[in-house]
Amino acid sequence: MPRPPKIDEPTKTYNLLISVAVYDKLARHAERLHAKSITQVSVGDLIREGIDIYLEALEDEDYDGGNNVGATPSDGLE
C-alpha cells in the first residue's frame, strides 16, 4: 500500500544541501517529536514547517527582514 500524501496540493521536488551537523540536529528533533506524536515527523516535515513560518514572516507587513536585530528603542526604530 502506498504512503498517503503529506501535502494535499501540487508539489515540486527540490534538493537541499545542508551540513551534516544541521541535518543531525533536525533528525534528533524529528525523532523526539515523532515519539510524542501519533503521526510520523520527519526532517522534511521540520524543514517544510520552517519554510512556512519564514514565508508567513516575509508576508507580514511589520517584518523588516531582520534589519533591526539588536536595535534598541533609543535607536529610533520603534
pTM: 0.72
- CA 4 to each of CA 1, 8, 50: distance values in angstroms, whole numbers, following the listed order: 9, 10, 22
pLDDT for the residue numbered 74: 60
Decide if pLDDT at 68 tops 90: no
- Pairwise pLDDT comparison (8 vs 68), residue with the higher score: 8
35-50 confidence digits (pLDDT tens): 999 989 999 999 999 9
Note the residue count of the chain.
Answer: 78
pLDDT for the residue numbered 6: 85
Q: What percent of the chain shows pLDDT beyond 70? A: 83
Q: Nine-digit cell at 6?
A: 503529506
